[in-house]
DNA sequence: TGACATCACTTGCTTAGTCAAGTGAAAACG
DNA sequence: CGTTTTCACTTGACTAAGCAAGTGATGTCA
């Protein structure tokens, strides 16, 4: 028992790390009345608007149902608008949403980076980024049925 | 705008990757009627029992409230037992829980490893593990008030 | 034109987790 | 002995997400 392979060890560590840093991030974003998940969605909208819910869901790797609820909350808070447009709903930021994300972005990106910059060397960060790119791509492909 | 630093890019990638692989893991564990979160908790109990709820919560980086609920579910499913023991509750696996975790562990660890082994070289995996160890330790320290 | 299929989104039910207020037993103080 | 603190845990209200069934508008085909 306990065949803790290198991979499973790394996996646990990564889970714990993302968990911790996500909580810290939520904490940090409280100034702006945002959560990490909301920030992520808003930044995608800002960057890629106009787009539909399904496109957005795909970008942040969430199900359509999850996205539907998330957007309902953001709409209730007045950060985004959804317009029924032919068969789909087109999503865009409201002025308030725009302002919010612009305000939060610089410090939030800085905050995210700090998790890495405070412990790793420039070289290590590049390596890590490269490895994560590989891993992410692979898991994404694995997720798709059999495309 | 869009000062996407190296760190923030890496962060997003890691988030997406853990998200994806977590879902795949949940999918995989469905054979055993378990979720990733439950598997994680059970394995900790198996390894460190007997222990209290707060100790367990600390190990899997969850709040006490979260742990209370998690254990309530596991108890309802008959996988663990909680005994009021002086002031604290002592947690242990039932026979059913023990059997479940023993059955699931080898393939689940193998599955977790596969995310890495299928894309990275031995050398890269070692590097990644080392970097994650650093990062995890750091974020853990950051999380504690000011200890 | 009417029956059916498809598509984009919503919703009920569930797991998982957060925070903060609440509870109940034991300890410590006076 | 009674009051107050402390501790370990629970619980209510909430965000976030998954799956699967449901809805409603649009397209297709006989």
pLDDT band at B147; cut points 50, 70, 90: very low
User: Nearest residue to D8, CA vs C1'?
Assistant: B88
Chain A nearest-CA distance from B24, in A, is 7
A88 contact to strand C (CB, 7 A limit): yes
Average pLDDT estimate for B140-146? 68
Whole-model pTM? Answer: 0.89
Question: pLDDT category, B126, cuts 50, 70, 90?
Answer: very high
Provide φ and ψ at B81, rounded to 5°: -130, 145
Q: Work out the angle between the directed axes of helices B122-143 and B95-117 (0-180°, nearest 10).
A: 120
pLDDT at B10 over 60: yes
pLDDT value at residue A146? 42
pLDDT by residue (tens digit) across A75-87? 999 999 988 777 6
Taking only residues 61 to 90 of chain B, the set having a beta carbon closer than 8 angstroms to any beta carbon of chain A reads: 61
Q: Taking Cα atoms as reference points, which of B42, B17, B18, B37 lies closest to residue B26?
A: B37
Residues of chain A contacting B19 with CB distance shorter than 8 Å: 61
CA B138 to chain CA mean position, Å? 18
Query: Is there contact between B52 and strand D, defined as CB under 7 Å from any strand atom?
Result: yes
Residue B2 scores a pLDDT above 60: no
- What is the percent of chain B where pLDDT is above 70? 94
pLDDT over 90 percentage in chain B: 78
């Amino acid at each position: 028992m306990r065949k803790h392979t290198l991979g499973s060890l790394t996996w646990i560590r990564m889970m714990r790390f993302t968990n911790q840093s996500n909580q810290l991030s939520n904490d940090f974003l409280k100034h702006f009345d945002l959560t990490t998940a909301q920030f992520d969605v808003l930044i995608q909208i800002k960057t890629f608007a106009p787009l539909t819910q399904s496109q957005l869901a795909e970008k942040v790797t969430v199900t359509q149902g999850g996205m539907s609820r998330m957007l309902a909350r953001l709409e209730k808070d007045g950060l985004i608008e959804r317009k029924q447009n032919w068969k789909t709903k087109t999503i865009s930021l409201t002025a308030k949403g725009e302002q919010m994300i612009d305000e939060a972005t610089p410090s939030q990106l800085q905050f995210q980076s700090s998790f890495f910059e405070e412990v790793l060397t420039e070289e290590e960060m590049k390596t890590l980024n490269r490895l994560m790119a590989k891993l992410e791509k692979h898991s994404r492909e694995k997720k798709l049925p059999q495309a």
